[in-house]
């Protein structure tokens, strides 16, 4: 008999939270497990100071992990705010195969831990990470260039809520069919055929979670926890420029595993440097069965081809997101919200709009026609105003993660079309050396499809004057189908237009966000409610965190034991 590891008391501790989470997943009404404000009232008077101190103590030092290692690596991480190296080091294995061997070994024990206990252990790890939300925020800020607020929310409560979604979903899916033995009785007229049946939920194998530089935690955590809850060990391969934040996550998972006497190699961190990448060793391995990837199209397309080689892949790549302006009853708020969306984290978000389609005759505002020029001028003004706002500006823009992005954007802007707004010079008093770039706005003609159909990552947006909303929609739909899209923004006061755009964009598997004029931006996807990416257009082949995001990670295997009829009475 093979023993199954079970920790019913630990599960009982988290059951109510998981029940609530699953209810939210199915109702899709608002729900949050971890509060998003980094407030003292919620997280404690000293939480921020302690987090900052922990961050500062880590700088220049080794981040210890429980996993076996034979060397350490000093990473190339550097703060986009100070442009100084963080001089962090991580334990590594020189031979990538060692990670795979240890993961394969860890699979044997992890799959024997029942799903309830896995859920409980993973919830324990999340609660431990919660205690480090502020350190995690500083780690995220100084690797990605996100503002402190975005860093706190994206790497902290928002990311962890997405992890809870996958845990709750997996609990549902893996208890959906009977896992304990039951009797199957088939009436055959004069007799019955009887069997004992049961189903096993078998993990697929070793998982690989490949991180992205701009959102090292938010984009990695869903796949990481989805692998773990379904019984698969994971190798986390962070982007070489943002390791620290996700290292905290792996560290806390390993702490929980160690505490409960489990193999710490169920979750490993495999750190590398850009000049000596190790990802290929993992993607080439037969043992790696699951790959989660967030990043650029070229490598993402390669990852997807591995689907033809027996691997299950979950990709989020780049898309070209559209905005369709048709009409509004609040021009100012529309321009304010849109300007904010374009400026947030200097456009370094996969959900950030790129192309703004506006009818050349302008749009209706409260029934009155407002000219194209006026709308465009208003948008440029909104963007410039936000970027240069002395108090809010630095928090909206954050810093530019990658030096290459900053350089590329400067050059690109004028080559694309007519410059309507050149990103104004901005400064961050707190971080005078911050790598900054305020968004530019460029006008491109509607027949310049080859220009605006390319993804331009970072602080550049394009305005495209169209014949009418019909043409705007046609272009947005074509872009989504051919180049992929993760978001689509619409402003319209016409119910028929809203329905039409939603229907047409749905055919290109793109969600539409309409009339956003308040404190919520198209860039944001809410945990437990908004699926992130649809998997239905070239922007990615997976949807965080729909049921397939979980069910593709295991196989259901039935077994049948025949029950003979009792011998006939003499």
**Which CB atom, from 39 or from 468, has the smaller least distance to a second copy?**
39
Tokens 């706002």: give the residue.
389
From CA 26, how far away is CA 169, in angstroms rounded? 9
**Which CB atom, from 200 or from 418, has the smaller least distance to a second copy?**
200
Q: Which structure tokens are listed for 192? A: 């019955």
Nearest of 133, 74, 51, 68 to residue 102 by alpha carbon: 68
Q: CB of 563 within 8 A of CB of 195? A: yes
From CA 485, how far away is CA 468, in angstroms rounded? 21
Q: Is 464 helix (H, G, I), strand (E, B) or coil?
A: strand
CA dihedral in degrees (530, 531, 537, 538; nearest 10)?
Answer: 110
Q: CB of 154 within 8 A of CB of 140? A: yes
Q: CB of 542 within 8 A of CB of 314? A: yes
Q: Is 176 helix (H, G, I), strand (E, B) or coil?
A: coil
Run of H or E including 151: helix 148-155
**Which CB atom, from 59 or from 526, has the smaller least distance to a second copy?**
526
**Which CB atom, from 184 or from 371, has the smaller least distance to a second copy?**
184
**What DSSP letter does each residue of 91-112 carry, written as one string?**
EE-SSHHHHHHHHHHHHHHHTT
Nearest of 548, 516, 518, 515 to residue 533 by alpha carbon: 548
**Which CB atom, from 308 or from 429, has the smaller least distance to a second copy?**
308
Run of H or E including 159: helix 157-173
From CA 451, how far away is CA 416, in angstroms rounded? 7
**What DSSP letter does each residue of 255-302 carry, written as one string?**
HHHHHTT--GGGEEE---BTTB--HHHHHT-TTEEEEEEES-HHHHHH
DSSP code of residue 373? H
**Which CB atom, from 430 or from 495, has the smaller least distance to a second copy?**
495
Tell me the Ramachandran region of residue 15: left when phi exceeds 0, alpha when psi lies from -120 to 50, beta otherwise: alpha
Minimal distance, residue 32 CB to a second copy, in Å: 8
**Which CB atom, from 306 or from 451, has the smaller least distance to a second copy?**
306
Q: At what angle do helices 221-229 and 157-173 cross, to 10 degrees?
A: 30
From CA 381, how far away is CA 310, in angstroms rounded? 52
**Which CB atom, from 3 or from 570, has the smaller least distance to a second copy?**
3
**Which CB atom, from 360 or from 478, has the smaller least distance to a second copy?**
478
**Which CB atom, from 26 or from 259, has the smaller least distance to a second copy?**
26
Nearest of 475, 460, 442 to residue 357 by alpha carbon: 475
């Amino acid at each position: 008999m093979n023993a199954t590891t079970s920790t019913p008391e630990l599960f009982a501790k988290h059951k109510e939270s998981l029940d609530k989470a699953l209810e939210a997943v199915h109702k899709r009404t608002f729900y949050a497990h971890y509060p998003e404000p980094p407030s003292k009232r919620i997280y404690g008077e000293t939480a921020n100071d302690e987090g900052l101190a922990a961050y500062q103590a880590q700088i220049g030092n080794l981040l210890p992990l429980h996993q076996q290692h034979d060397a350490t690596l000093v990473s190339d991480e550097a703060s986009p705010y100070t442009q100084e190296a963080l001089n962090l080091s991580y334990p590594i294995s020189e031979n990538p195969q060692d990670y795979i061997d240890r993961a394969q070994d860890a699979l044997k024990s992890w799959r024997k831990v029942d799903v309830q206990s896995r859920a409980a252990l993973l919830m324990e790890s999340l609660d431990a990470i919660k205690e480090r939300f502020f350190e995690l925020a500083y780690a995220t800020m100084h690797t990605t260039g996100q503002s402190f607020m975005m860093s706190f929310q994206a790497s902290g409560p928002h990311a962890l809520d997405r992890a809870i979604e996958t845990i709750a979903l997996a609990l549902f899916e893996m208890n959906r069919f009977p896992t304990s033995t039951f009797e199957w009785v088939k009436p055959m007229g004069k007799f019955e055929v009887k069997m004992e049946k049961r189903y096993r939920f078998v993990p697929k194998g070793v998982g690989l979670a490949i991180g992205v530089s701009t959102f090292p935690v938010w984009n990695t955590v869903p796949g990481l926890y989805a692998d773990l809850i379904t019984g698969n060990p994971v190798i986390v391969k962070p982007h070489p420029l943002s390791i620290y934040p996700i290292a905290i996550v792996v560290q806390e998972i390993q702490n929980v595993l160690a505490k409960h006497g489990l193999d710490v190699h169920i979750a490993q961190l495999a750190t590398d440097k850009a000049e000596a990448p190790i990802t290929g060793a993992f993607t080439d391995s037969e043992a790696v069965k699951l790959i989660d990837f967030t990043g650029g199209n070229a490598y993402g397309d390669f990852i997807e081809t591995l689907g033809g080689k027996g691997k299950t892949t979950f990709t989020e790549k780049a898309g070209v997101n559209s905005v369709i302006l048709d009409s509004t009853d609040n021009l100012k708020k529309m321009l304010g919200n849109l300007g904010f969306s374009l400026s947030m984290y200097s456009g370094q978000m996969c959900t950030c709009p790129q192309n703004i389609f506006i009818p050349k005759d302008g749009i209706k505002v409260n029934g009155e026609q407002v000219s194209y020029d006026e709308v465009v001028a208003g948008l440029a003004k909104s963007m410039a105003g936000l970027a240069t706002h002395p108090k809010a500006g630095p928090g909206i823009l954050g810093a530019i993660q990658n030096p290459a992005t900053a350089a590329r954007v400067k050059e690109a802007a004028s080559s694309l079309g007519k410059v309507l707004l050149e990103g104004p010079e901005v400064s961050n008093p707190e971080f005078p050396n911050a790598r900054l770039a305020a968004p530019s706005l460029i006008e491109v003609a509607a027949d310049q499809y080859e220009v605006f159909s390319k993804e331009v990552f970072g602080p550049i947006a394009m305005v495209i004057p169209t014949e009418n909303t019909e043409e705007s929609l046609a272009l947005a739909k074509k872009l989504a189908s051919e180049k992929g899209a993760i978001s689509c923004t619409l402003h319209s006061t016409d119910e028929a237009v809203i329905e039409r755009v939603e229907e047409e964009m749905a055919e290109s598997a793109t969600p539409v966000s309409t009339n956003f004029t308040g404190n919520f931006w198209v860039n944001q996807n809410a945990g437990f409610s908004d699926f992130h990416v649809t998997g239905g257009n070239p922007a990615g082949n997976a949807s965080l965190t729909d049921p397939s995001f979980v069910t593709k990670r295991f196989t259901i295997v039935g077994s049948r034991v025949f029950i003979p009829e009792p011998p006939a009475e003499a």
